[in-house]
Amino acid sequence: MALVGCQSYENKSLYEVSVGKIFSIYISTNSCCYYCWLNRADVRHVQVVDTVVVESAPELCEGCNTKLSLIFKAISPGIDTIQFVNPTATASCDPKQFKSEIYVIQVTQ
């Protein structure tokens, strides 16, 4: 997924990082859509250490996107898969209703 604005924020399908490494996964959200992290409880080798707004929507602009950086830290060797869905405001986080975004993180010593 690529998010385009003044700067480009690109995610990779595979992240290969070592323990202690910091990396970001970017998401875009607005008043009508949000992200659900479906398998957060299953993720064991990385943790979110911060969430930063990297590009704000214009003020009073309903439906305009805000881009966020989920900042992760690799904490132990192993492989995690992060699965997001991006439902509309009134929908549930059902992965059968929306296409999943999947990111694989391979953490080495």
CATH of the domain at 76: 2.60.40.2020
Question: Residue 95 is part of which domain span?
Answer: 15-108
Nearest to 27 by CA among 105, 77, 87, 80: 87
Name the average pLDDT for the chain.
Answer: 88
Q: How many CB atoms within 10 Å of residue 65?
A: 18
CB-based contact 101:52 (threshold 8 Å): no
Quote the pLDDT of residue 84.
93
**Between these two residues, 29 and 6, which has the higher pLDDT value?**
29
77 found inside a domain: yes
* Mean pLDDT within 87-101: 82
Q: What is the pLDDT of residue 3?
A: 44
38-74 confidence digits (pLDDT tens): 999 999 999 999 999 999 888 888 778 889 999 999 9
Counted domains in the chain: 1
Which residues have C-beta within 8 Å of that of residue 90, sequence separation ≥ 6? none
pTM over 0.95: no
Question: Which residues have C-beta within 8 Å of that of residue 61, sequence separation ≥ 6?
Answer: none
pLDDT at 62: 77
Q: Is residue 6 part of a domain?
A: no
- The pair phi, psi for residue 88, each rounded to 5°, is -75, 170
Identify whether 37 is part of a domain.
yes
